[in-house]
Structure 1
Amino acid sequence: MAGGDARSDAREERRNRLRELVTGEGFIRTADLAARFGVSVMTVHRDLDALQAQGWLRKVRGGASCLPSTQFHGSAGERLTTMVRTKQLLARAAAGELAPGQVVMIDDSTTCLHLVRHLRDHTPVTTISNSLPVISALAREPGVAVIALGGTYFPAYDAFMGAHTARSVQAFRADVLFMSTTAVTGGRCYHMSPETVQVKQAMMAVAGRRVLIIDHTKFAHQGLYALAPLTDFDLVLVDDAAPAAEVRRLRDNGVRVRTVATAAAPSGAPGPHGAT
């Protein structure tokens, strides 16, 4: 038993070091990883499969690459410290869309996590989420019924993602969805993870109203996978530091945009670009 525990500890330590290497260097060949750790190529493949399933990296031909979402998102812990005051003010503005008796769907973004504290003022309410922090925060909140969306747990997002989670969403109907996005380019939302897009598109499909909450940094970054045009949302909330030309262009294209005064609010420590 002790030998098994030691092997398990060694495996976890190797995987943690492997993840740090791939994230730090961007791309490493499978053969080089095997040589560096003194293990077989097959063992490296198993390690990469496990880390990919957790959302830390991507297996690619001949090796492993850090997820683009690691470059833009950072870990869930890092995202929690980014643009904090702005996110709080945006969430407070979004709370105006809440009403007692609603079924409220909340995505895995740290932006929408700040909305949780406002739900107690609009009870009774039913919440549906794939975000573990949202589920945990509301689990013992009086007047709030919590429905947790299952699936594969991605530690990098602290949320459940992927095909199973997307199918779980289809079993429900929400009055309103609150969500954020990694990037806004050309009037469309983008993310760096296909699993994220899969779940958020499913959420949008079952929501009566869709509210997108974004801070101004979203306009400065790009994503790989298209989620949806902003015209698919009933309301877009953005802070007043957003580029005026971008906001004007969105309104000209029929997007209902509301700016939230946050100019005097400290944004918190600089963080990963486009964190949601």
Structure 2
Amino acid sequence: MLTAERRQLILNILHRDKKVLSSELSAVLKVSEDTIRRDLRELAESGLLQRVHGGALLASPAIASYADRQKQAPKEKEAIARAAAKLVCPGQVVILDGGTTTLQVARHLPLDLQATVVTNSPPIAIALAEHPNIKVVMLGGQLYKKALVNVGAATIESLRMIRADLCMLGVCSLHPEIGISVQNLDEAHVKRAMIAGAAEVVGLATAQKLDTAASYVVESIHALTYLVTAPTVSDEMLVAYKALGLTIIRDALNPTA
């Protein structure tokens, strides 16, 4: 079997099973574990998977640029945003993390809603600038251009002063075992501070983000109060998350779905 054929087969197995183990691939493909590890390393460098101890998991689509991510799963993100926006109550202080899905949440907040939104995302702050009843608190810091969010010590220090009712977390990768993970270490620290400063945490994840992993772990899955995902996500795909005690929301009209 040619190297390219073997690596494509590895990807096929990964997409089917959501994970691969080096030892099992070695037995199935009849090559050494060293060869499999080399294959996984090359595939990881191409952004096609995320290596973990003993094997690999699916890589998040969030490795794309912000502009490209705005084009990914727009209907799913809009459905998630409609459902998530209903969780915001009048008078609350809400941390709205950066991301293309959280931007949609900002756009779906009712015009009569009175609340305070704290965000490290310039696009979200701009989207809420014309909202008549929402006070916007913009967190400073260094702009992480790929994700269009402010990160760094200044961002984290500001978050330490805030006790929010709700945090809407943009999810890069979510996995029942790995937890919440991202591609950038500075962003991981900021997300962790957001979680620490909120009474309840809402994870927003399209189907493409589920069962994937990235390089830097933010928190375990238990940091989330709710997981809001698209109505098209199957019950089978959510079994492991429900088993961990997460409240799953898939329908704007039925918040206990």
TM-score by length of 2: 0.70
2:233 paired with 1:242:
yes
Are residues 1:196 and 2:187 paired? yes
Q: Does 2:201 correspond to 1:210? A: yes
Could you give the per-residue CA deviations for residues 194-224 of structure 1, whole angstroms, max 9, x where no partner exists? 1111001000111111111111111253211
Cα distance change on mapping 1:185 and 1:110 into 2, 3 Å: same
Unaligned runs of 5+ in 2: 1-44, 51-58, 253-257
- 1:222 equivalent among 209, 213, 226: 213
Q: Distance between the aligned counterparts of 1:122 and 1:198, measured in 2?
A: 33
**Count of paired positions:** 197
Aligned residue for 1:98, secondary structure, equals: coil
Provide the rounded CA distance (Å) in 1 between the counterparts of 2:77 and 2:60: 20
* Residue 243 to residue 225, structure 1, CA distance change in 2 (3 Å): farther
**Among candidates 131, 152, 159, match of residue 149 of structure 2:** 159
Cα distance in 1, alignment partners of residues 244 and 113 from structure 2: 35
2:130 aligns to what? 140
> How big is the shift at 1:70?
10
CA distance 1:89–1:166, shift in 2 (3 Å): same
Q: Which structure 2 residues correspond to residues 78-227 of structure 1 after superposition, within 5 A?
A: 78-187=68-177, 188-227=179-218
> Could you give the per-residue CA deviations for residues 52-88 of structure 1, whole angstroms, max 9, x where no partner exists?
xxxxxxxxxxxxx999999843221111111111101
Counterpart code for 1:182 = C
Identity level (%): 25
2:63 partner amino acid? H
Q: What are the superposed Cα offsets for residues 3-42 of structure 1, whole Å, 9 maximum, x if unpaired?
A: xxxxxxxxxxxxxxxxxxxxxxxxxxxxxxxxxxxxxxxx
Does the CA contact (< 8 Å) of 1:120 and 1:143 recur in 2? no
Stretches of structure 1 that go unaligned for 5 or more consecutive residues are 1-64, 262-276
Aligned partners of 1:170 and 1:145: how far apart in 2?
A: 19
* Per-residue CA distance 1:89-121 (angstroms, 9 max, x = gap): 101011111111111110011111101122234
How far apart, CA to CA, are the structure 2 residues paired with 1:70 and 1:238? 15
Q: Which amino acid aligns with 2:147?
A: Y
Contact 1:182 1:189 in 2 (8 A): yes
Work out the CA distance in 1 between the residues paired with 2:112 and 2:172: 28
C-alpha displacement at 1:124, in angstroms?
A: 1.4
The SS at the match of 1:175 is strand
Query: AA paired with 1:167?
Result: E
Aligned to 1:267: none
Counterpart contact for 1:183–1:221, Cα < 8 Å:
yes
Contact 1:125 1:145 in 2 (8 A): yes
Q: Give secondary structure in 2 for the equivalent of 1:179.
A: strand
Question: How many angstroms apart in 2 are the aligned matches of 1:78 and 1:258?
Answer: 26
Structure 1 match to 2:17? none
Q: TM-score, normalised by structure 1?
A: 0.65
Contact 1:100 1:122 in 2 (8 A): no
Residue correspondence of structure 1 range 4-19 to structure 2 within 5 A: none
2-side partners of 1:240 and 1:229: how far apart? Answer: 24
RMSD over aligned CA atoms reads 2.4
